Amino acid sequence: MTLLPERDQHKDLHMPAVIYVHIVGDSQTTIWGLTGRERLQRMLRPFKQVSLVANPDQIPAHALALFLRGDHLFDSRVLASLISAQTDLVFWTDKGQSVGVRIAGGEAHSVLDDFLSGGGGPVISGLPRCTLKDLNLLDLRQRLKKRDPPYVLPIRTDNRQTLEAELFTRSYKGVTDLVTKWLWPLPAFWVVRFCVRFGLKPNQVTVLSLVFAVAAGIAFWHSYYGPGLLLGWLMTFLDTVDGKLARVTVTSSQFGDVLDHGLDIIHPPLWYIAWGVGLTATSAAAVDLPLLCWLILIGYVGGRICEGAFQFWIASFDIFIWRPLDSFNRLITARRNPNLILLTVSWFVDRPDLGLFSVIAWHLLSTVFLSVRVMMGWQARRSHGHLQSWFEEIVPGQDDGKLAIRIFAPLTVKVDDRKVTSG
């Protein structure tokens, strides 16, 4: 059976023909506020070649058709592969239950009758069987900087908490800073649950984080470092919440994505400059503000240039997932959260000037390190050709015990009260 490989962006998938998708049934319980049918409908919208039909009679004769069970939780990669498959097939879970059928040639209604009866009818029995292992979906997920096993799981009342916890965990990037990775997950889980319960949208959370970002900058400007740091940490926390809320409720939007990433890029250097302005207003601080501003911009912009140069000219992936060293570097590199730790410590010891100096120094050191890694990547590409992320070199069963694997790419996860290995 030949199936297309996973694509990281739905828009990269190309099918010349429309495929009509009909969702059969629904779940009796909700996962992050969505029934199985509602979640599938939202997940299928980005696929331009998909036409959702409420009534199977709307499927034209000899058209491509895909039937999916609404009482199951589908990984988006599984949906992408079923839509892009090169053949008719029946998709089965590892527990022997048919949860999806792809068919062409005018037999859609006969297939649907068999599908509704449990998948044991004569038409379905004659179709090729496909399972998760056949889909080959263990490729690197560039956007989330991770590699994790796909899933298709039944939605039941007794496994709701397990499924919600698993979806939330999978919404996290595999490689990120130490605060986002280890401090925010637990409180973010409960705040996301609060947002779902009261109908708050990701863009509303992002706008609130924007308000906190501006307020923190104003506080720094006027030397109110304590309140500014509190607002800053609240902003960084909400920056985690909005992304997780969008992913678990399948409510990502282009506007929200631009707003969120634009805010992430613009506000950090403005915070540091505002901190410097605040220092000039205190009698105890003697700083050369123009020089500090230039150093801040050189360190910050230089680091971003290194990241962009690596991904656009040297490799197709983010520099922080090239080798394990780069992933460890991402935990502490000069990004907003590690820098906020430096500023917070300096405020606690009543030396905000040292906080700014340490942020500038850390930015410059991080940029130097990234520059070296870019040059090493360029040399490696010249010598060995196409570069590969270390995530793609993981061998399940052989690399499980390595520290980098345990931190950034655990090969075994718990879903539906059982262990699933990515190999």
Q: Are residues 188 and 104 in the same domain?
A: no
Check: CB of residue 206 under 8 Å from CB of residue 253: no
pLDDT in tens, 275-298: 999 998 875 556 788 999 999 999
201: domain CATH number is 1.20.120.1760
What whole-number percentage of the chain has pLDDT above 90? 63
Closest CA to 394 of 420, 415, 423, 421: 423
Can you tell me the mean pLDDT for 15-30?
87
Can you tell me the mean pLDDT for 362-369?
98
Q: In the prediction, which pLDDT does 2 show?
A: 45
pLDDT in tens, 259-273: 888 889 999 999 999
Structure tokens at 138: 């263990």
Domain membership flag for residue 157:
no
Domain membership flag for residue 259:
yes
Q: Are residues 91 and 220 in the same domain?
A: no
Check: CB of residue 41 under 8 Å from CB of residue 79: no
Q: Are residues 83 and 203 in the same domain?
A: no
Q: Are residues 101 and 197 in the same domain?
A: no
Domain membership flag for residue 196:
yes
Host domain of residue 250? 171-386
Q: Are residues 244 and 355 in the same domain?
A: yes
Check: CB of residue 73 under 8 Å from CB of residue 36: yes
pLDDT band per the 50, 70, 90 thresholds, residue 6? very low
Domain membership flag for residue 154:
no
Q: Are residues 130 and 242 in the same domain?
A: no
Q: Are residues 211 and 358 in the same domain?
A: yes
Domain membership flag for residue 99:
yes
Closest CA to 223 of 338, 356, 119: 356
Can you tell me the mean pLDDT for 44-57?
91
Q: Are residues 41 and 186 in the same domain?
A: no
Q: Rounded CA gap, 308 and 78, in Å?
A: 30
Q: Are residues 285 and 340 in the same domain?
A: yes
Q: Are residues 191 and 123 in the same domain?
A: no
pLDDT in tens, 336-345: 999 999 999 9
Domain count along the chain: 2
pLDDT band per the 50, 70, 90 thresholds, residue 422? very low
51: domain CATH number is 3.90.550
Q: In the prediction, which pLDDT does 332 show?
A: 97
pLDDT band per the 50, 70, 90 thresholds, residue 60? confident
Domain membership flag for residue 245:
yes
Which residues does 355 contact at the CB level (< 8 Å), separation at least 6?
Answer: 275, 342, 343, 344, 345, 346, 347
260 or 306: whose pLDDT is higher?
306
Which residues does 421 contact at the CB level (< 8 Å), separation at least 6?
Answer: 149, 396, 411, 412
Is the model's pLDDT at 238 over the cut of 60? yes
The long-range contacts involving 118-124, CB below 8 angstroms and separated by at least 24 positions, are 119/90, 119/92, 124/90, 124/98
Domain membership flag for residue 92:
yes
The pTM for the full model equals 0.87
pLDDT in tens, 378-420: 999 999 999 999 988 888 777 777 899 889 877 544 444 444 4
Q: Are residues 205 and 328 in the same domain?
A: yes
Can you tell me the mean pLDDT for 240-253?
92
Mean pLDDT of the chain: 87
Domain membership flag for residue 164:
no
Q: Are residues 246 and 333 in the same domain?
A: yes
